[in-house]
Amino acid sequence: MPEQRRTLCNRDCPDVCEIVATVEDGRVVRMQGAKDHPYTRGFLCHRTSRFLETQYARDRLTTPLVRRGGGLEPASWDEALGLVARELLRIRAESGPAAIFHYRSGGSLGLLKHLSDYFFERFGPVTIKRGDICSGAGDRAQMMDFGIEDANDLEDLDASRTIVLWGKNAVVSSPHLLPILRQKRDRGAEVILIDPVRHRTAALCDRVLQPRPGGDFALAMAVLRTMFARGWTVPDARDFCDHVDALEQLATSRTLAAWCAEADVPVEAAEHLARRFGPDKPAAILVGWGLGRRSHGGATIRALDALSAVSGNLDIPGGGASYYFKRRGAFDLSFIRGEAAAPRTVCEPLFGPELLAMNDPPIRAVWITAGNPVAMLPESETTVRALASRELVVVVDSFLTDTARLAHVVLPTTTLLEADDLLGAYGHHHIGVARPVVAPPEGVRSDLEIVQALAERVGLSDVLSGDARAWQQRLVDPMLGPHGVTLDELERAPRRSPVAPRVVFSGRRFATPSGKVNLLHEAPPAPAPAPALRPLWLMALSTERSQSSQWARPEAGPATVTVHPDSAAGVPDGGLARLESAHGSLVVRVAHDADQRRDVALMPKGGHLRDGRCPNALIAARTTDLGEGGALYDEPVRLLAPFAEPGNPA
């Protein structure tokens, strides 16, 4: 008899959907979105709709692998974990725990994944990562400005007259926002997209601006200048913001035309925005994640925060500068000290270069879980060199990724259909429990079971004892207990977090040292045009076909690079070319798109290095101005006909 079982999607995605899985004879035969979940609304995205091919893929790992001679060979758990425990104990004894690096990324957003951090903190504390490849700049920007980072309820958009998608491709990266946007638009809200890239989300917007990449700071200043000039900022801004005068000075230090030229948008567009944030408020900014991934991404997001604040939109219903829903806010993780305890940290976007350079002691062992740094962090070849030269690399994953291929030990783990975990979303305020809808295949263990088995072998079994449910209880009770919310209740159905605000800054309370918004008042350098030699900015962006490096279906052949026809270096639509940066080159297939800017080359993120499809093979490791994020979209590239390269006939 087929049976329907529910769980939550644990992928690194703002939506955290509720999945209804149909299970027959212990096998999932169908996945659908829950109809009664307020955000899932009965549908799943492209990548997760096709997840069963991944779940039952022939190349899924179901046994540990250990490197013998040159290759990775199947081994028992006892052998694999015995080896890892011995080596970790030896390295810790010889060089101290700082010689061990624990790296965890966002393969699963389950809260219990933090227990891997906890184990290594108790075993060490060991070296951990700092900064954040994804959102480091934006996180830091909002913390500086507001002292906390959280977002208004999506329902609060009911009150918005304008919704600005500032650098956000909802169709691809957050599809469950679409029904909400459509509904608000039907009710009269104007939806404005500001993105250098023309993408499918544009079809759903009333206005689309395509500024210069990194031109958003200038655009925000153009809007602010107009608002100051017309008296559209709120008169009591000084009561709740520091540095209003300095911000006004900055915004008025250049003409409207000059700011707009720097942003590469028409003056009329800036004036329209000023009106929407001023007399026509409320205007909500849904701040995307992409615009922060630039050298001055922190300053850009601070400029949007400032615009929201002095225009009087930040603290009112229908306003806000919403970037990140505080997904961990409902759970107690205070027993993990993280950076406060770590002897040393590795900056995530500089993973490869820092690993190679670290001394005293050098990093000798790396444990990687829920991440694929070779494919997803910049400078893939440096990451490869860094990992290939360590004594011990352990990777916990379900597949033999570009990273796992370099490991000495690979430990097979559970998928999203097998997860037993807690989840909060970074795109809405619902929280809940992911329940395994099927048991993992024989030979596969959860991250928790893996670190527990390791803990037993290194004399720390008491530290991690307790099953998944006991740990869930431990994370839930301290925070939700006082609100009368229990784990049992969360198991029955996801619900809105009782600790989430509806309008974060209503009451104008800020957690900054002065209690006021800390307005930015200095300009970063203007975005430079791409150099003449390599005139295109490489933007490797989310595609609906993959979750970062996890593809719904494996893709073969050269990756597609989309450019304006005038920027194709004479390569015809559909033709092959070489895409070259200062770091390397890839053979790609060129697609023409006359709707794109002439200064960008677009490519899907997440391509695999071994298939020659990895954009990070071309991208230098560099950080953002704030928060040690990855400045991933600031790499200049050019297209060359492939036969232009000697020894490489097309």
Ligand X SMILES: Nc1nc2c(c(=O)[nH]1)N[C@H]1C(S)=C(S)[C@@H](COP(=O)(O)OP(=O)(O)OC[C@H]3O[C@@H](n4cnc5c(=O)[nH]c(N)nc54)[C@H](O)[C@@H]3O)O[C@H]1N2
- 13 makes contact with ligand SF4 (CB under 6 A): yes
- Measured from the CB atom, the residue of 527 and 630 that comes closer to Mo ion is 630
- Alpha carbon 167 to its chain's center: 14
The answer to whether the CB of 348 falls within 8 A of the CB of 131 is yes
| Helix or strand (DSSP H, E) at 471 | helix 468-480
- Using CB under 6 A as the binding rule, whether residue 621 contacts ligand SF4 is answered as no
Q: Does 376 bind ligand X (CB under 6 A)?
A: yes
Residues belonging to the chain = 650
Nearest CA-CA partner of 168 in 178, 182, 158: 178
Q: Which does 9 bind (CB under 5 to 8 A by kind): ligand SF4, Mo ion, ligand X, none?
A: ligand SF4
109 binds Mo ion (CB under 5 A): no
Residue 425: which of 7, 10, 6 has the closest Cα? 10
User: Closest by alpha carbon to 404, among 381, 379, 380, 372?
Assistant: 372
For the window 112-151, what string marks contact with Mo ion as x by the rule CB under 5 A? ----------------------x-----------------
Residue 537 near ligand X by CB under 6 A: no
Is residue 525 within 8 A of residue 296, CB to CB? The reply is yes
| 172 binding partner (options Mo ion, ligand SF4, ligand X, none; Cβ < 5 to 8 Å by kind) | ligand X
Asked if 225 interacts with ligand SF4 (CB under 6 A), we say no
Q: Which is nearer to Mo ion, 105 or 233 (CB)?
A: 105
Q: Which stretch binds ligand X (CB under 6 A): 165-173, 233-241, 319-327, 506-514?
A: 165-173
Q: Does 167 bind ligand X (CB under 6 A)?
A: yes
Residue 275 amino acid letter? R
17 near ligand SF4 (CB under 6 A): yes
For CA atoms 477, 483, 484, 487, the dihedral sign is negative
Residue 8 interacts with Mo ion (CB under 5 A)? no
- 434 is an interface residue for ligand SF4 by CB under 6 A: no
CB contact at 8 A, 592 and 630: no
Please select the residue that binds ligand SF4; options are 28, 34, 44, 307, rule is CB under 6 A.
44
Tell me if 632 contacts Mo ion by CB under 5 A. Answer: no
For position 48 contacting ligand SF4 by CB under 6 A, the verdict is yes
Residues 243-272: x where in contact with ligand X by CB under 6 A, - otherwise, as a string:
------------------------------
Dump the DSSP string for 175-222: GGGHHHHHHHHHTT-EEEEE-SS--GGGGG-SEEE-PPTTTHHHHHHH
Q: Given the complex with ligand SF4, which of 42 and 343 has the nearer CB atom?
A: 42
Spatial distance between the Cα atoms of 537 and 598, rounded to a whole number of angstroms:
10
Strand-by-strand arrangement of the 283-287 sheet: 207-209, 190-194, 162-166, 283-287, 321-322
- In the complex, the smallest distance separating the C-beta of residue 134 from Mo ion, rounded to whole angstroms, is 3
Q: How far is CA 252 from CA 228, 249, 631, in A?
A: 8, 5, 28
Check binding of 55 to ligand X (CB under 6 A): no
Q: How many CA atoms lie within 13 A of 564 on its CB side?
A: 15
Distance CA 110, CA 118 (A): 14
When asked if residue 31 is in the footprint of ligand X (CB under 6 A), the reply is: no
User: Which residues between 272 and 311 bind ligand SF4 (CB under 6 A)?
Assistant: none
What are the residues binding ligand X (CB under 6 A)? 12-14, 47, 105-108, 133-134, 166-169, 172-173, 194-197, 199, 213-214, 216, 288-291, 294, 369-372, 376, 396-399, 401, 413-414, 447, 539-542, 544, 546-550, 605-606, 615-616, 619, 632-633
Residues that bind ligand SF4 in the complex, under the rule CB under 6 A = 9, 11, 13, 15-17, 44-45, 47-48, 175-176
Q: Which residues bind Mo ion (CB under 5 A)?
A: 134
